[in-house]
Chain A
């Protein structure tokens, strides 16, 4: 069966520090992968999605970047975090019938 791993669960980082969040999927090949961000009590904002290795689509201009170095690995990065980067980050993969399966999320606090 397919599983998705996302880590860390929580992260507190100072402004200006770098960021690397990792997401891996098991049990499927060539999945579509997604990074979403959720502000407190709000909906999900699509940040990046990828349909294959090295193929990244960015949805909004921002301080973040994404990479897909391997088929089932999706990484969210920043060189210098801003206060506005705080939020709940969710990775997801797309299964059959366009359903998304989400990881458990990373709560990022930038101080």
Chain B
């Protein structure tokens, strides 16, 4: 079964705007990761945040984690048309498994 649920399912914005995607999960985690998938391709790792961290930055990406609410958000600032893709959160528990959410499809218009 899927652990995470992303919100919104789809998001359309103009270049230069910020994009925010949210992820909720059900059980305690070791870490939470965000991945990107271009259409018809494999997923690419973007950023990992551990359960004892609250915020992390990588370039134009900012990830927050609220373990009390079992939620995370991914913010992409100053979006570009090349950011058009699907974005997935994935959670790791006390096992070797990484469970993915349902994804947010982001469309950035030039």
B residues in contact with A105, CB < 8 Å: 40-42
Nearest chain-B residue to A42 (Cβ)? B102
Interface residue ranges of B36-93 to A (CB < 8 Å): 40-45, 48, 88, 90, 92
Nearest CB on A from B92, distance (A): 5
Nearest chain-B residue to A95 (Cβ)? B45
A102 contacts the other chain (CB 8 A): yes
A/B pair count, beta carbons within 8 Å: 60
One digit per residue, 1 when the CB lies within 8 angstroms of any chain A CB and 0 when it does not, for chain B 81-110 equals 000000010101000111111110100000
Give bound CA distance, A104 to B98, whole Å.
18
B residues in contact with A88, CB < 8 Å: 40
* Contact A99/B33 with A43-B103, A46-B99, A104-B42 known, Cβ cut-off 8 Å: yes
Interface size on A, residues (CB 8 A): 27
Please report whether the interface of chain B is mostly helix, strand, loop or mixed according to DSSP.
strand
Give bound CA distance, A92 to B98, whole Å.
11
| CB <8 Å contact, A32 and B41 | no
| CB <8 Å contact, B103 and A90 | no
Most buried by B among A34, A36, A43, A59: A43
A51 contacts the other chain (CB 8 A): yes
Give bound CA distance, A24 to B33, whole Å.
24
B27 contacts the other chain (CB 8 A): no
| CB <8 Å contact, B31 and A43 | no
Q: List 13 A-B contacts (CB under 8 A).
A: A6-B42, A36-B100, A42-B103, A43-B101, A44-B43, A44-B88, A46-B100, A49-B96, A59-B97, A94-B96, A98-B92, A100-B35, A100-B45
Q: Which residues of A line the B interface, CB within 8 A? A: 6, 32, 34, 36, 41-46, 49, 51, 59, 88, 90, 92, 94, 97-105, 107
Seed contacts A32-B96, A98-B31; 10 additional CB < 8 Å A-B pairs: A6-B42, A42-B102, A43-B100, A43-B103, A45-B2, A46-B99, A46-B100, A49-B96, A98-B30, A102-B44
